[in-house]
Amino acid sequence: MCGIVGIFDWRGGGKTADLLQRMTKTISHRGPDDEGYLLANANTLRYEQRSGQATVPELQEKLKLISLPSEFEWNIALGHRRLAILDLSEAGHQPMSNEDGTVWIVHNGEIYNYLELREELSSYGHHFISRTDTEVILHGYEQWGKACLNRFNGMWAFAIWDSRLRKLFCSRDRFGVKPFYYYFDGAGFAFASEIKALLEAEFIVRKPNDQTVFDFLASSLQDCTEGTFFEGIRQLKGGYFLEYMPLDKELLVKRYYDIPMDRKMIGLSDESYSLKFRQLFENSIKLRLISDAPVGSCLSGGLDSSSIVCMIDLLMREMGLKIPGTGDVQKTFSARFNEKKYDEGAFIDDVIKKTGVESYTVYPDAASTWKSLAQIIWHQDEPCVHTYVSSQWQVYKLAKEMGVKVVLDGQGGDELLAGYDRYYSALFSDLMRTFQWLDLGRELLSRYRSGGSVTIRDFFQGAFHLLPRNLQMRVRAYLRPDGNTCLNSDFASGRTAYYYRKQANGNVMVDSFDELLYELFINSQLPGLLRDLDKNSMAHSIESRSPFLDYRLVECIFSMPWKQKIRQGCRKYVLRNAMSQILPDSVAKREDKMPFATPVDIWMTTQLADNMTDLFGSPRFRQRGFLNASEVEKEFQAHRKGQKNIGRLLWRWLTLEIWMREFIDK
C-alpha cells in the first residue's frame, strides 16, 4: 500500500522537481517507509532515478536527491511513497523497472495471487529480484500487455511508463478499492493517489464542481461518476484503464471489466450454494492474510465483520494458519458507544467470547469527533455522506497505536448480499412482474413479522416500479423533486440529480432486484464507502483489505438466485447459512440491520449544538450560495428541539462547509 504521483509536464520540464516533492510530501502518510522518483524524457528516452529525504538508507548513497539539478531536460516524472507490506527490504523500492529500464511502474495496492503469477511468469523466462507483487505486475504487463489486468486478483492503482511505446498505462482495480485521480487539460497530464497532491500544482484551480456538490446535497450521493468535488479533477473508475500518449497529447479511458450479469447459477441445493460461498470466502481471507507486517481485523458486531473474524479464528486455531507478526491470537478493533441505540457491544462481546481474540475498543464521543473532524475532511479530500467516517477514523487510529499495519474489513458485504431494507421493494417488484405470487406472499408475511408497517411501504414501492418508466419519472419528479427546501434556488436551477440524469439518458432504471444490486455495488453506494475506508486507513498508514470484494466471490454471489440473498425476511441468507456453525448464534440469527454510524444526530442536540449554531450562522456559510442559510437555521432548530431527526442531512451540510474552509478558502 502506497502513495503514487506523476507529472507529464507541459510547463517547463525539469523546473517542476519542487512540485513533485510537494506532491509526495502531501501524501507521505500513505507511505512513510520509503520515497523514490523517476525523471525521464519522452523524446530522448533518457532517465534517472532520484531519492528523497525519506528514501531508505541503503539507497540514499546510490541515488541523487530529487532537489539537485538534473543533467538533462525531463518532461516525465513519477513519484512514490512506500508502506512496506511485502518484502520489507530495499528491493521493494519504487519506481521499479524491468531489467533494461524500458518499463517503469509506481503501484499502490496488493495483488493477492502474486505468488502463483510469479511462478507462471518465471516459467516464461522472467527473472525476479524482489519478493514483491509490484514486480509481478511489471513482468505481467511485459508478458500479457493490457490483458494482464484480467489475471490479477487484488486491489490496485498503478501507472506504468512504457518508453518502448512512449505511452503511460494506468489502471484501477475492478471495484475501485484503491484510488486514482487525474487532471488533463489537453496540454498535459498529472495523476495522484489523493486529490490534495494534485492541488499542489499551481496550474490546477481550486474550484468546486457544482454538479457534484448538487448530487451530494440533493441525493446524498458521491463517487457515483468520474467527477470529483473539484472542477477539472477526475477519478479513474473501478474496472477502467487509462492510456496517455504524451507526444500526441492523447488520452484514452476504457473499461476492461464488468460484472457478468448473464451468468446464472440455478438449480443447486442450499448446501451447494453455501459450500461454494464458504470455499471462496475462506480462500479470499487466506489470500488477504498474506503479509510481512502485522495483521488485525475490524469488528463492528455486524454479520460481515464477525464472519471475517470468526473465519480467521478457525483458520488459526483449527487449521494451524500462522500470520507473520500477529502471534497466536488475532487482534480486533472496535468502536462502541454510550448511546445504546448505536451500540453493538453485546454482539462484539459474543464474538470475543467465542473466538478469544485480543480485542481493542475505542469509545468515540462528541468532543473527540469535533476535534478531529477538520483533519478527517482534509484526509478524505471531499465532504462525507456517512456519519460513521469519524468512528472509523478512531478505529484505525487505535489499530496504528497497537502496531498493526494491515487490517481486514467487512466493507462490501451489504451491497453484495442485499443487506439494506431498500432491496425489499425491488424484490417485491420482481415477484409481481414475474407472477411469483406464492413467493411474494411468503416474503410479504415474513417481512411484516419483522418490519410491520414498513412492509406496506415496500409493497407499494415495488408495485410503483411496474409502471411505465416515463410515468415513473414524472411521478418521482412531482413527489420528490430534485433537492430540498434548503437548497439555494439559483444554485439548484437547471440541475438534475444523478438518478434522473441516468433515466433521461436512457440508462438502466434501478427498478429490479439485480439492477439495484448492481447499481449500489458499482456506482452509487460502494464506491463512496471504499473512498472513506481507503482515506481513513491510509491516514494512519494502514492497509485495509476487504475479503468480500474478491472478484471471484462477487461474481459467484451475483450469479446466485435471489433466494440466496433474501429469504423469508432474512437478508444475506447464503452467508448466514455458510457461517452458521462458526458464528455465535446471536450474530448469525440477528434480524436487525444496524448501520455502522456515529450518534451525531444526538450530539447535535447537545454537545455539538453550539458548534453547529456558530458554523451555520457564520458569514462564510451564509455567502456560499449552495444553501438557503435561513432555511438551514430553521431545520437545525427543529432538529435540536426534537421535532424531527435530520442528523444525516445536517452532517452533509456540516462536512461540506468544513471542506470549503479546508480546501477552497485556503
Q: What's the domain count of the chain?
A: 4
Active site residue 2: yes
Do 354 and 280 have their domain in common?
A: yes
In terms of pLDDT, which residue wins out, 193 or 90?
A: 193
* Cα–Cα distance, 351 to 346 (Å, whole number): 9
Residue 297 within a domain: yes
Do 122 and 163 have their domain in common?
A: yes
10 Å CB burial of residue 391 (0-12, 13-18, 19+) is buried
Do 245 and 338 have their domain in common?
A: no
Task: Please say whether the dihedral angle defined by the alpha carbons of residues 90, 404, 171 and 260, taken in this order, is positive or negative.
Answer: positive
10 Å CB burial of residue 180 (0-12, 13-18, 19+) is buried
Which pLDDT belongs to residue 497?
A: 73
Preceding peptide of 95 cis, ω within 30°: yes
The CATH number that applies at residue 173 is: 3.60.20.10
How confident is the model over 226-231, as a mean pLDDT? Answer: 97
Do 74 and 101 have their domain in common?
A: yes
Could you tell me where the DSSP H helices lie in 359-453? 366-380, 389-401, 413-416, 423-433, 437-451
**Percent with pLDDT over 90 in the chain:** 77
Taking 60 as the threshold, does the pLDDT of residue 369 lie above it?
yes
Residue 260 within a domain: no
How confident is the model over 322-351, as a mean pLDDT? Answer: 90
**Percent with pLDDT over 70 in the chain:** 92
Do 380 and 428 have their domain in common?
A: no
Do 374 and 439 have their domain in common?
A: no
Tell me if residue 144 falls in helix, strand or coil.
helix
Q: How many CB atoms lie within 10 A of CB 241?
A: 18
pLDDT, one tens digit per residue, over 73-114 is 889 999 999 999 988 899 999 999 999 999 999 999 999 999
Tell me if residue 311 falls in helix, strand or coil.
helix
Residue 44 within a domain: yes
Which pLDDT belongs to residue 197?
A: 98
Which pLDDT belongs to residue 519?
A: 93
Residue 632 within a domain: yes
Residue 595 within a domain: no
Which pLDDT belongs to residue 481?
A: 42
The CATH number that applies at residue 538 is: 3.40.50.620
Residue 490 within a domain: no
Radius of gyration of the chain (CA): 25
Tell me if residue 183 falls in helix, strand or coil.
strand
* Residue 149 DSSP one-character state: G
Which pLDDT belongs to residue 482?
A: 39
Do 572 and 636 have their domain in common?
A: no
Identify the weakest region by mean pLDDT among 386-390, 502-506, 518-522, 536-540.
Answer: 502-506
Q: How many CA atoms lie within 13 A of 665 on its CB side?
A: 12
The two beta strands, 47-51 and 34-40, are antiparallel
What rounded mean pLDDT belongs to the chain?
91
Residue 542 within a domain: yes
pLDDT, one tens digit per residue, over 375-431 is 999 999 999 999 999 999 999 999 999 999 999 999 999 999 999 988 988 899 999
Do 572 and 447 have their domain in common?
A: no
* Cα–Cα distance, 443 to 532 (Å, whole number): 34
How confident is the model over 176-200, as a mean pLDDT? Answer: 96
Do 344 and 481 have their domain in common?
A: no
Domain boundary among 588, 608, 642: 588
Tell me if residue 623 falls in helix, strand or coil.
coil
The two beta strands, 406-408 and 543-545, are parallel
Which pLDDT belongs to residue 113?
A: 97
Do 107 and 11 have their domain in common?
A: yes
Do 427 and 372 have their domain in common?
A: no
Residue 615 within a domain: yes
Per residue, what are the HEC states of 494-546?
CCCCHHHHHHHCCCCCCCCHHHHHHHHHHHHCHHHHHHHHHHHHHCCCCEEEC
Do 327 and 354 have their domain in common?
A: yes
In terms of pLDDT, which residue wins out, 187 or 223?
A: 223
Which pLDDT belongs to residue 495?
A: 84
pLDDT, one tens digit per residue, over 563-612 is 999 998 889 999 999 999 999 999 999 877 666 778 999 999 999 999 99
The two beta strands, 358-362 and 331-335, are parallel
Domain of 116 in residue numbering reads as: 2-219+228-255
Please, are residues 88 and 293 in contact by the beta-carbon 8 Å criterion? Answer: yes
